[in-house]
């Protein structure tokens, strides 16, 4: 379990390990960047203002963390001052995230923000180029691939409300792909 892992210095400064929230085994898995202050206090991902927006976004396409979505982050510990995670911190935690995805076995992945999309897809482009494009996340240990869609992080949308229309298009695309994947088994 990640609680016993001592190889990431962020664990020392964090209040809680923020592992996941939602429905284990859900068809949709949302992966963000790292916990913020509210998440660190409560021990759950996406519970602050941006989490409330994420919940409304998911509800707009008939999904919810209490019934149909599983949520986690690239990092399980809050970087001090909500700073950007370092490449080393990400590299240290990625194997845990990859295994987490494999165990959760979602039918579709949604990357909330550029950090999770770039880290898990091994891409260099920023979120404005990655968002809205379907990719296949290759399962490193299980074989096969999971369809993955990057979109803007809710925190970014709170700062840049003009981008909400792009995020809405992404959500509609997610809903269509999910319905297609579930229908075709």
User: What is the pTM (predicted TM-score) of this model?
Assistant: 0.96
Asked if residue 141 has pLDDT above 90, the reply is: no
Per-residue pLDDT band for 28 (boundaries 50, 70, 90) equals very high
Q: What is the pLDDT of residue 117?
A: 96
- pLDDT tens per residue, range 104-113: 999 999 999 9
Which residues, 6+ apart, have CB-to-CB distance to 127 below 8 Å?
113, 114, 117, 150, 152, 153, 156
Give the residue with greater pLDDT, 183 vs 29: 29
Using DSSP's 3-state secondary structure scheme, residue 148 falls into strand
For residue 60, which of 160, 157, 185 has the smallest C-alpha distance? 157
**Measured between alpha carbons, how far is 61 from 54 in angstroms, rounded to an integer?**
11
Per-residue pLDDT band for 139 (boundaries 50, 70, 90) equals confident
- Using CB atoms within 10 Å of the CB of residue 131, give its burial: 0 to 12 exposed, 13 to 18 middle, 19+ buried: buried
In the chain, what percentage of residues exceed pLDDT 70?
99
Number of H helices, E strands in the chain: 8, 6
Take residue 60 and report the two structure tokens written for it. Answer: 């707009």
**Measured between alpha carbons, how far is 183 from 178 in angstroms, rounded to an integer?**
8
């Amino acid at each position: 379990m990640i609680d016993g892992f001592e190889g990431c210095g962020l664990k020392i400064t964090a209040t809680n390990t923020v592992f996941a929230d939602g429905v284990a085994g859900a068809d949709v898995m949302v992966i963000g960047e790292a916990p913020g202050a509210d998440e660190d206090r409560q021990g759950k991902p996406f519970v602050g203002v941006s989490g409330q927006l994420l919940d409304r976004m998911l509800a707009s396409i008939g999904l919810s963390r209490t019934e149909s979505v599983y949520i986690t982050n690239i990092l399980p510990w809050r970087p001090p001052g909500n700073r950007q995670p370092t490449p080393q911190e990400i590299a240290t935690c990625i194997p845990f995230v990859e295994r987490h995805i494999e165990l959760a076995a979602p039918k579709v992945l949604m990357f909330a923000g550029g950090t999770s999309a770039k880290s898990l897809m091994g891409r260099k482009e920023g979120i404005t180029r990655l968002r809205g494009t379907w990719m296949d996340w290759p399962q490193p240990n299980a074989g096969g691939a999971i369809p993955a869609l990057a979109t803007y992080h809710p925190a970014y949308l709170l700062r840049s409300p003009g981008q909400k229309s792009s995020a809405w298009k992404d959500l509609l695309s997610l809903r269509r792909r999910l319905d297609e994947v579930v229908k075709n088994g």
